[in-house]
Structure 1
Amino acid sequence: MPDLPKALHVGSLLRPPALLDARAAHAAGTLGPDELHRIEAESVRLALDVQRDAGIGVYTDGEYLRTDFMSHLTENTDGFVSQAPVLEWQDGDESQADNAILNLIGDRLAYRDRFTAREAALLAEHAPGPYKVSMPEVTNFVVANWDQQVSGPHYPSRADLVEDLAAVLRAEAEALIADGVRWVQIDAPCFTSFVNPRMLAVYEAEGLDPAALLRRCIDADRTVVDLLRSHGVRVGMHLCRGNYRGQWFNEGTYDGIAAELFGGLAVDHWLLEYDTERAGTIEPIKHVPAGVDVVLGLITTKSGELEDVGELLRRIDEAARLVPMENLAISPQCGFASEVVGNPLTWDEQRRKLDLTVAVAEGAWG
């Protein structure tokens, strides 16, 4: 298996205006599906050009076929209803209750149709190098999509939906294996809910044991990870604290989950958010097993301000005390647009962030 490139990005990119306009016209009934698909394909090719020109190592489609990073699953899985939860997002000054673009679970979950087929096909046809397809994992839905009134009649507690979600993800993983996809990224921004005091209080108020729920989610995800890796698919898992228009959802360091999580999921590499003090120290990466790569998400996507190159190199050196330099890489801390509106930075600022990622990788590894 080839070495992991030293400069990567998490996946989503800001949507170009032509794509946003096409989506709006399609929703209004003034643009047909064939024309929408043509514009989507053109936009994906633009995203690939941006990554190629920057020198990013593993290509993505920018998540341009999605409304948010989980929408492709919720739109193609039975059991979701068109009712958005209210999530408490943080912006550093205050909390903001916002209706994220998510659907609540309102029935038993069952795999209905492919949700990454077009993405995989477009990348296979147009990517100029190795490409990855991303999938969510079960903890996201445990945190964001369960509601006592709406979901409770079908899943009395959050914990009860874990196995059905894992079955949905395994079905799609099997299809990606058949597609010939060689890189899969599993996006897991809600594992940090198990170090978030607000969410720990919610679990305990509902009568759940957070430690037992964490183990149950890890066990479910392991069935997906092991399936993919048993067929030679390279698997990365991305951890952050949520990414919504420059805001975040979870707070808390990796210390309380690192040993169990890094030791419990045999992925090929971890992509870890490390752009702010909210992530804590670099020390928890000592729990990553030998030979597993760590991608340091040191560059923020929540604003356009560029980080200092010297400071980024210093932090890479600090990480190299705990994980061998050959097993480290660098990336932005998260995607640039985990949902369609995206984070508050410009297209040019996004490009400079990608350029910085590559420049720092060249400075650190040559």
Structure 2
Amino acid sequence: MRRLDQVGSFLRPAKLKAARSDYANAKISKDELRAIEDECIKELLIECDKNNVYYLSDGEFRRSWWHLDFYWGFSGISKIIKEKGYVFKGIETRAEGIKITNKIECKDHPFLKDFASLVKISKELGIDTNRLKLTIPSPSMLLYMLFIRGGFNVEFEYYGKDYAKLKEDILKAYADFYLEFEKLGGVYLQLDDVSFGSFCDEDFRANLIKNNYNADDCTKEYVEYLNKSLATMPKTITSAIHICRGNYRSHFSASGGYSKVASELFANLNINKFFLEFDDDRSGDFEPLKYIKNQIVVIGLLTTKTKENPSIQTLIKRAKEAANFLDIKQIEFSTQCGFSSTEEGNEIDMNTQWEKIALLNELNNTLDKEGF
């Protein structure tokens, strides 16, 4: 039977949201907040295990954002409040971001402490720690944040316009993080990235041209950069990448099939697993999967953005369509994204979240019976 994987984030329980609010308003201490986080993570692991989710994370319960918290954890990167948030289709995010203020280094990164806590909680529950995964934004995503989302041809505090040194230090910071993660017993690391999803979007590609950038060149540059980073990852770690088109309170930021990036991204990225979105028409068809080599592809057939679900018959049909381009042994299934890429969460309820997990289990079981 296929092992059920999940992109990463889960809806935050009400008591966790209340605790984060209390901490922000100085009503509880950081230690008290952490104790409540531990309690909620323990409950999540139990619920995931009960619902046959094989690969387990902390649900990103300690984070505000899927990506910014990780960058803020590096020395030399600071949190800032911007004039505007990131523009999604129909909504604008909170106006928080990153600023480089010094040399970028990995020193006592808080995510390492968080993963050590996850290992401890898992052992207390008798869960095999080889099932644990950690999700972090990719190093190429940081380039995207700095050079595209942050403005074009920008100058950085500390680095000025020495982009080569900046990129070198980012790679070193990630390499150091990988090594520390392995020392804690980490065996599965997922990199999350919206840059490649953006490069699939026609409007986004046109905007790049207006700023003297080219999406195809960026795709090639980011794949090469990712490969340099992956080369520093210990071989004991299973690497994965989730290619997303944006997920904020059930809204998206990009559209377009993978055909515009597939011949470079799928054919040349040295990764073990791809998490790919195929939940609606914005995702395009499965044909770009022909560029995949021998990697596992976790196909995201179910949206996390709305309550609605396709029928089991539709899911089976879609799974078999994907198998026209991949060996069935390479295919796993998940939702197309996390349920709560930021602490606000998508505009669905807890019951919907677990109904979607149950439907994925039904898909796995049905396909197993058919010998798929």
Residue 217 of structure 1 pairs with residue 222 of structure 2 = yes
C-alpha distance in 2 between matches for 1:34 and 1:273 = 37
Q: Which residue of 2 aligns with 1:331?
A: 334
In structure 1, give the amino acid aligned to 2:99. I
Q: Which residue of 2 aligns with 1:193?
A: 198
Q: Which runs of 5+ in 2 are unaligned?
A: none
Change in Cα spacing, 1:115 to 1:166, as seen in structure 2 (3 Å) is farther
| TM-score (normalizing by structure 2) | 0.89
Residue 105 of structure 1 pairs with residue 99 of structure 2 = yes
| TM-score (normalizing by structure 1) | 0.90
Q: Which residue of 1 aligns with 2:364?
A: 361
1:106 deviates by 4.2
Change in Cα spacing, 1:352 to 1:342, as seen in structure 2 (3 Å) is same
Q: Which residue of 2 aligns with 1:269?
A: 273
Q: Equivalent residues in 2 for 1:39-58 (5 A)?
A: 39-58=36-55
Q: Equivalent residues in 2 for 1:33-72 (5 A)?
A: 33-72=30-69
In 2, are the aligned partners of 1:119 and 1:133 still within 8 Å (CA)? no
In structure 2, give the amino acid aligned to 1:133. L
Residue 254 of structure 1 pairs with residue 258 of structure 2 = yes
Q: Secondary structure at the match of 2:232?
A: helix
1:45 deviates by 0.6
- Larger deviation: 123-132 or 17-26? 123-132
C-alpha distance in 2 between matches for 1:284 and 1:76 = 35
In 2, are the aligned partners of 1:10 and 1:331 still within 8 Å (CA)? yes
Q: Which residue of 2 aligns with 1:343?
A: 346
C-alpha distance in 2 between matches for 1:20 and 1:280 = 36
Q: Equivalent residues in 2 for 1:281-300 (5 A)?
A: 281-289=285-293, 291-300=294-303
Change in Cα spacing, 1:167 to 1:212, as seen in structure 2 (3 Å) is farther
Deviations 1:188-243 (A, max 9, x none): 12211212223223322222233222222112211232322x43111111112011
1:288 deviates by 0.5
Q: Secondary structure at the match of 2:279?
A: coil
1:163 deviates by 4.2
- Larger deviation: 202-211 or 48-57? 202-211
Aligned length: 356
C-alpha distance in 1 between matches for 2:211 and 2:162 = 9
Q: Which runs of 5+ in 1 are unaligned?
A: none
Deviations 1:120-141 (A, max 9, x none): 1122123323010011013433
1:89 deviates by 0.5
Q: Secondary structure at the match of 1:110?
A: strand
C-alpha distance in 2 between matches for 1:141 and 1:73 = 10
Residue 122 of structure 1 pairs with residue 126 of structure 2 = no
Q: Equivalent residues in 2 for 1:148-163 (5 A)?
A: 148=151, 152-154=155-157, 162-163=167-168
Q: Which residue of 2 aligns with 1:315?
A: 318
Q: 2:210 aligns with which of 205, 209, 227?
A: 205
Change in Cα spacing, 1:37 to 1:214, as seen in structure 2 (3 Å) is same
Q: Which residue of 1 aligns with 2:81?
A: 83
- Larger deviation: 55-64 or 141-150? 141-150
In structure 1, give the amino acid aligned to 2:205. L
Deviations 1:304-340 (A, max 9, x none): 2222100001111111111111111110000000000
Q: Secondary structure at the match of 1:116?
A: helix
In 1, are the aligned partners of 2:8 and 2:57 still within 8 Å (CA)? yes
1:41 deviates by 0.3
CA-based RMSD: 2.3
In 1, are the aligned partners of 2:86 and 2:95 still within 8 Å (CA)? no
C-alpha distance in 1 between matches for 2:15 and 2:341 = 18
In 1, are the aligned partners of 2:87 and 2:93 still within 8 Å (CA)? no
1:149 deviates by 9.2
In 2, are the aligned partners of 1:135 and 1:187 still within 8 Å (CA)? yes
Change in Cα spacing, 1:216 to 1:75, as seen in structure 2 (3 Å) is same
C-alpha distance in 2 between matches for 1:308 and 1:17 = 30
Q: Secondary structure at the match of 2:81?
A: coil
C-alpha distance in 2 between matches for 1:134 and 1:31 = 28
